[in-house]
Amino acid sequence: MTGDQPKMVVGLGEILWDCFSDSRRPGGAPANLAVHATQLGLQGVVLSRVGADSEGDDLLAKLTAHGVAGETVQRDPDHPTGMVTVDDTRPDDPRYHIHEDAAWDWMQWTPQWESIATSASAICFGTLAQRKSRSRETIHQCLKSAGDALRVYDVNLRQSYYTPARVRGSFQLANVVKLNHDEATILAALLEMAPTDESSFVTRVIQEFEIDVVCVTQGKEGCHLYADSRFEKVSATPVSVADAVGAGDAFTAAFVYGRLAEMDLALCGNFANRVGGLVASHRGAMPKLREEYAALIQEFQG
């Protein structure tokens, strides 16, 4: 990707601590995405909210250490920094328990955020941070202010924090959708979009909501990409999985990079598979991989 100023990619939504049995690590899909976007040479920005507590201080310090500025993250005097308990008994299939009433449930629309939204090249959002009305309204306002940016809905269904109305509202605001195969099955039933096989469901989503691209990840098998009448099945290179937490967010960051760099659709999917696999082969959602990413970019773009 060329140009003096890196393109801005915004992760909009939750930022939190992933709490394991023996440690805690910074996480939340939007924060993970912003960190990986920054390592890919983009300007990763986090729009979220943490508590006015030591946990919030530590999270912002972690972002700064990864080259992502903390000034865009709001501080909340009344609600704590978000926490998630992670069961990683199966490294390839981690399970999450998301604590209630976190600071990121109370994100507020501000002039600073409006300026960022209107300047962004891509804004990525999910379902979880829309579980309360305040943050849901803020997320929608941000996306409506995004102009010609990529508006990427990375579905990320968690626990019971989704409804048909929230999913439909998110589809309406997006022009790129990313979800996994299991989520495609769940949403086809939830939205009563028969037939419920993946291809039929995705085709209806593209037509009904005027989505440009839908990416359905298939785990170690790679991903399926749908764009209008085009379909691409992109296989993944096998890796030894150390920890799958954050791999999907790295995939999304790389897919956004590819779209902004105007890669061919299949090449874009291949690049995202490689980046996601790199992260899965390391512990933690935010491993430092700048050199590895630079080598991949050189391989894919010459």
Domain 8-285 sits in CATH 3.40.1190.20: yes
pLDDT tens across the length of the chain (302 residues): 545 789 999 999 999 998 887 888 898 999 999 999 999 999 999 999 999 999 999 999 999 999 999 999 999 999 999 999 888 777 667 777 899 999 999 999 999 999 999 999 999 999 999 999 999 999 999 999 998 999 999 999 998 999 999 999 999 999 999 999 999 999 999 999 988 899 999 999 999 999 999 999 998 899 999 998 899 999 988 888 877 778 899 999 999 999 999 999 999 999 999 999 999 999 888 889 999 999 999 999 86
Residue 237 burial (C-beta neighbours within 10 Å; 0-12, 13-18, 19+): exposed
Looking at the DSSP bridge assignments, the partners of residue 65 are: none
**Domain range list for the chain:** 8-285
pTM: 0.93
Tokens of 289: 């991989």
